[in-house]
Amino acid sequence: MTDSPLRRSLGWYRLPILVVALVTSLLFYVPFLVVVATSWTETSFIIFPPDGFSLQSYSGVLNDLEWMDAFKVSLRVAGLGTVISVALGTLGALALTRLRSRAARSWVRTLFIVPMAIPPVAYAVGLYSVSLRAEALQDNLALLVLGEALLAVPYVFVMVSSGLSQADPALRPVASTLGASWPMVIWRVDLPMIVGHMLAGAVFAFAVIFDEVVLSVFLTPIGVKTLPLQMLTASQEELSPQLTAASTLVSMLAVALLGGYSLFSNRRAARARRLSRKAATA
């Protein structure tokens, strides 16, 4: 192994740290692997080790209208909520760069991040109280979409703020000096620098919204279920392999999203390095 500075600085602590990391990984991955394994059992109930191998649970989920309707609702809520959260989070991060007062920046940053610390149940109860006073919001998904989007805004805000903090602060004054209006500065200077961070924020926002269940319990109209709510109901009514099959499918969707973003990010970084080398040799 390479004798890196980090490895030298850890000294004899390397082994305990490695053991703790391995145990932590097992605590995460072993239950997930058990869930995956129980989804292909041939029986009609969850059993581990699985009895035989069959994809009947996956077929049952994909051909069940109740499961697929719940998936479509979650997809619609997550899609709309992601668009809203990306717009609000990006605008907030851009506004933060325009504030000159350090105290004002601190307050704005806190206001955008504080939703992470709000208990979801308390937030859901508050939104539910709003829906009781607004009849127009009781029979549609509008309040659920908005509530989920606001929960995801901090993730986008943090990602985009990180991208803006890495940008050259001299670019905006130079563009303004050359006559560019502030909308043009945002469109031609800021957005091209943070598009990758916006995409990362969108991936995290989509994952957070798609998996969120507490708001769904309080805010979904009667007769409508999101996929997490359908999974919660299935776990309370009957522990069938369809539940673990649906969980596995959701996990595969998350892996596909993160893998796609990682591939895009790596290709974008490689292209940036190639352009940098060409500029250096020109």
Tens-digit pLDDT profile for residues 31-41: 777 777 777 77
> In sequence order, what DSSP letters do the residues of 146-183 get, joined into one string?
HHHHHHHHHHHHHHHHHHHHTS-TTHHHHHHHTT--HH
The answer to whether 62 and 68 are in contact (CB under 8 A) is yes
Give the burial class of 130: count Cβ atoms within 10 A of its Cβ; 0-12 exposed, 13-18 middle, 19 or more buried: middle
Computed over every residue of the chain, the mean pLDDT equals 77
Tokens describing residue 151: 């929960």
Mean pLDDT, range 60-86, rounded to an integer: 88
| pLDDT for the residue numbered 85 | 93
- Residue partners of 58: CB distance under 8 A and separation at least 6: 39, 40, 245, 248, 249
Cα gap 193→146, rounded to integer Å: 27
Tokens describing residue 115: 């939703």
Closest Cα to residue 194, out of 154, 144, 160, 231?
160
In this prediction the pTM is 0.76
Mean pLDDT, range 152-158, rounded to an integer: 89
> Which three-class secondary structure state does DSSP give residue 41?
coil
